[in-house]
Amino acid sequence: MAEADFEAPLVELQKQIDELAKWPGDPAKDREARRLREALDEQRREVFAKLTPWQKTLVARHPNRPYTLDYVQALFSEWTELHGDRRFGDDPALVCGFALYRELPVCILGHQKGRDTKQKIYRNFGMPKPEGYRKAMRVMELAARYGRPILSFVDTPGAYPGLDAEERGQAEAIAWNLREMARLDAPIVVTVTGEGGSGGALAIAVGDRVNMLEHSVYSVISPEGCASILFRDASRAEQAAAAMKITARDLLGMGLVDEVIEEPPGGAHVNHDAIFKSVDKVLWRQLSELAKIPRERLAQERYRKFRDMGREGREFREAEPAIK
C-alpha cells in the first residue's frame, strides 16, 4: 500500500531522520535529528487532527497497524491458539485461543490480516468464512463455561462473500453468533483496531464494552461499496465516507461505541508500543469494572445495550423481555 497523499510530507521527514541515524556520535547530526523528530511529531499532530473520514479509512487499512497476534504478543502470556469449528475445518482469518492477561485467564479472538502476499492469501485478507465464526463461537462458549472474560479484536473488511462461504452458510453463522454472544454469561470487551466491516465485524463484536481506536472505522459497508450502490461510482468513496458517519468520534457521539482509544501522533502504525500501552490501560480498567457485575446480569445488560441502540432518548416504554 502506497503512502496516502496526506502522509507524504511526514514520510519525507522520517527519511531525513533515518538518514541522520546512520551517523551516530556526531553532535551536529544528533541535534538536527532531535529537531526533525520534534518537527515530525508536531506535524503529525496537525495532520492527523484534521483527517477526513476517507483519510481515516486509509489509516485504518494501513498495513503496518498492529493486528490481533501483535496485541497477543505484546499484552498476553501463555497464549494457546485453538483451531477448527468441529464441523468443517479451520479458518486462519480468525484466530482464537486462551492466554493470561496480567495473570488473569482470558479468551482472545480476533481477525488476522497478512502483511506479505503469502500471509495475505493464507489469512484471506482477514475475511473469515463460516468456519471462522463457528470456531469463534465454540471458543467463546468454552470461555463462558469456565468464567473467562472474552477479549475481541476487530479488523476486517467484512465476511468473505465467496461461493464456498455462502454454500456453507455464511449468513447463518453470523446470525448465530449475534444471538449467542448476546446471551453469554461472561464479560466481553470488544476493540475495533482497524476496519470494522459489516456483519463480518459484528459477528464477534457483541460486547459489554465496545471500543474503537481513534483512527479506526466501523460501518455496515465500505465507502467504496456504498458509493457503488448509491452513486453507481466507486470513485466517489470519499463522498460516501463523509456521509456514512463511520469514524470513532461519530459512532461515540451516536452511542454505538463506549470509548475511543487515543492513538499516538501519526497513528497506531508508527508507534506500536504506544498503542499497546493505551489499549492495555483501557482493557484492564473495563475488565475490572465488569468483574463487579454479577454474571447473571451481564447478558441482560448486554442485550439491553444493543436493543437500546438507535432509540431516541434511549428510554424504554416498557421493560424488554429477558433473553430465554
How far apart, in whole angstroms, are the C-alpha atoms of residue 56 and residue 257?
17
The string of DSSP codes covering 39-105 is: HHHHHHHHHHTT--HHHHHHHHT-TTS--HHHHHHHH-EEEEEE---SSS---TTEEEEEEEETTEE
What does the pLDDT look like over 247-283, one tens digit per residue?
999 999 999 999 999 999 889 998 999 999 999 999 9
List the chain domain ranges.
Answer: 57-308
- Contact in structure between 273 and 70 (CB atoms under 8 Å): no
Degrees to nearest 5, angle at CA 40 with 35 and 46: 130
> Is 98 within 8 Å of 150 (Cβ atoms)?
no
Q: What is the pLDDT of residue 41?
A: 77
Hey, how many other C-beta atoms are within 10 angstroms of the C-beta on 312?
A: 5
Threshold 0.85, pTM exceeds: yes
Strands 94-101 and 77-82: antiparallel
CATH number for the domain whose boundaries are 57-308? 3.90.226.10
pLDDT under 50: residue ranges of the chain:
1-2, 313-324
Per-residue pLDDT, 139: 98
pLDDT at site 10: 74
Closest by alpha carbon to 94, among 145, 208, 170? 170
